[in-house]
Chains A and B, each alone.
Chain A
Amino acid sequence: MTPRRFLATLGPGLLWLAIFLIVPSVIMLGYSFLTRTDLAQVGAPWTLENWQRVFGYDALFRQWVPDNLRVLWRSLWLAALSTLLCVLMGYPLAFYIAHQEARRKNLLLLLLIIPFWTNFLIRVYAWILILRPFGLVPSTAATFLGMVYAFLPFFVLPVYSSVEKLDWRLLEAAEDLGATPARAFMTGVFPQTLPGLVAGILLTFIPALGMFVVSDILGGAKTALIGNLIQNQFGQAGDWPYGSALSFLLMGVVLLGLWLYARFAGEKGLEELL
């Protein structure tokens, strides 16, 4: 492609992303090495203190403060646990939908897409109505339930598209060669759904990791996740440098995961994430 055509087609969009994505990332990285001078104010000198705080060392009092690490840890396992539950609920569901005849299948898909498109806040809010009478709001369990609920459709849809493309003859071939049904499934079917499964897990785990709305609404102070910590730095605490370091860490973890996935699945896999 000639440079002129490249500029005419990809140019404007890439320029936009450079301005509104790359430049802000660089600013954020820079801020994470600066000092909080006042509420939401940033200035000299350059420092590593924010990063030390992210990893649990308080430079001011010269001691380890495990609280922050606990938040990071909680974010990780809550995201992992929500993802796991999504897999347990959603993976069989994808097979169930794929097994139906065309009309029924379309209806079931539609019923999956409606919550997918329904406003996220509303879906989380609805759980307050259900759980509050039982005194479960705020609680970690409510946060967990809310996360699974919020991400289940995001998990099922990519898995379904993988199951839909399944070549069932491999299952028959495995059975024909004398494999038990369970073994036939593991060798003939499961590997074929792997791309969808990986995509579904990423689409659940990554947003769950950065989530702050669910924990904010259903979880309360005890269930603070890294997302809440970040939100707080840019809200009441007004500590932008510390918030930048936390955000950059979160972004780094996600992009690293994405990069590993891209190496494993290639450019095609990157696109199939959608």
Chain B
Amino acid sequence: MNRRTHPALTVWAWLTYAFLYLPILVLIVFSFNESKFGANWTGFTTHWYSVLFARQDVREAVSHTLEVAVLSTLVSTVLGTLVGFGLWRGGFRGRVPLTFLLVMPIVIPDVVMGVMLLMFYAIVRGLLERTGWTFENGFWTVMLAHVSFQISYVALTVRSRLAGYGRELEEAAADLGATPVQSFLQVVLPLALPGVLGGALLAFTLSLDDFVVTYFTSGSGFRTLPVLIYTAVKKGVTPDINALSTLLVLFTVVMIVLANLLSRPRKEQV
């Protein structure tokens, strides 16, 4: 599009970008600052990174975060793909309430979802205790909670990916002798694959990122990275948290660039 861009618009845009990146840059700079307190620059150091790497609780939180993210992403991708496929096929009543149900986990405030599940787990625990079983809030409660909001994102991603294809593709497969399962595996799934991967990536990132729902469902013994950062921030600024944040930003950038390169449509090699 070769429409004119007003200079004021350009200035406005650059200011907005500056606003978006200023805190991130400050964060990165401070992670290399020698001074333990305050805003003064006293010299360059990588000391806080070694402090960070030495912390056992950080390492534990990283592995908890990844474990929850991997398992919840696997479960939600399978369930969400099936739901997205079903929505695409259609042919049932009540599409609007169903879509509403799917959008719910996306729009309900995190804090409500968190406390809701907290109470739900408490009730389930109470019921189980009568039979002599019990469980602690921890890995499983967090993982199940994450799946609950991930399903919707996967389902809607898969569905919008399939939306470009007519349902007669499935009819064509059936017409050529494919059973419903064969048709799903040989026709629908290959077509939906970019959507499935995109949905999985989204689900994975959401799980990595989630603080609020995890905070309410994790109990005291199980900490993920966001929960650890929150606890640290509440205590006060420590430079090793700056280092951790810098690494996480870096990780995000690498992930996005990778995803971008992978999803770029392949051009004919000339």
Contact = CB atoms under 8 A, between A and B. Distances in A.
Main secondary structure of the interface of A (DSSP, over half): helix
Given A21-B104, A28-B116, 11 more contacts: A1-B89, A20-B148, A27-B120, A114-B256, A117-B252, A122-B249, A125-B245, A129-B23, A153-B20, A213-B230, A262-B100
Interface in B127-168: 144-145, 147-148, 151-153, 155-157, 159-160
A194 to B, nearest CB: 19
A14 interface: yes
Interface in A1-50: 1, 5-6, 8-10, 12-14, 16-17, 20-25, 27-28, 31, 40
A209 B111 CA distance: 10
Given A119-B252, A120-B209, A126 B23 contact: yes
Contacts of B159: 271
B112 A210 contact: yes
Main secondary structure of the interface of B (DSSP, over half): helix
26 contacts: A1-B90, A8-B82, A12-B82, A16-B79, A17-B102, A21-B104, A21-B105, A28-B116, A93-B16, A96-B5, A99-B1, A99-B3, A108-B17, A111-B17, A114-B249, A119-B226, A119-B249, A121-B233, A122-B27, A129-B27, A132-B39, A149-B20, A149-B23, A212-B111, A227-B109, A274-B160
Nearest to A208: B109
B123 interface: yes
Contacts of A8: 82
A254 interface: yes
B82 A119 contact: no
Interface stretch (A54-62, A65-73, A242-250): A242-250
A128 B123 CA distance: 38
Contacts of A270: 96, 99-100, 103
Q: Which 3 residue pairs of A and B lie closest in terms of their CB atoms, listed nearest first? A: A210-B109, A9-B86, A126-B23
Contacts of A202: 107
B79 A130 contact: no
A177 B256 CA distance: 45
A121 B27 contact: no
B151 A119 contact: no
A25 B112 CA distance: 9
Contact of B116 (A25, A113, A130): A25
Interface stretch (B6-14, B42-50, B53-61): B6-14
A190 interface: no
B174 to A, nearest CB: 12
Nearest to A253: B109
Q: On chain B, which size bracket covers the interface?
A: 35 or more
B237 A128 contact: yes
B229 A122 contact: yes
Given A118-B249, A213-B212, A230 B111 contact: yes
Contacts of A118: 24, 248-249, 252
A27 B113 CA distance: 12
Interface residues of A, number: 88
Contact of B115 (A9, A28, A99, A126): A28
B115 A234 contact: yes
Contact of B109 (A114, A125, A250): A250
B112 A251 contact: yes
A132 B39 CA distance: 8
B230 A121 contact: yes
Contacts of A40: 122
A10 B83 contact: yes
A5 B180 contact: yes
A213 B92 contact: no
Given A121-B229, A213-B211, A126 B27 contact: yes
Contacts of A23: 120
Given A96-B10, A120-B209, A125 B24 contact: no
Contacts of A258: 100, 103-104, 107
B86 A244 contact: no
B254 to A, nearest CB: 11
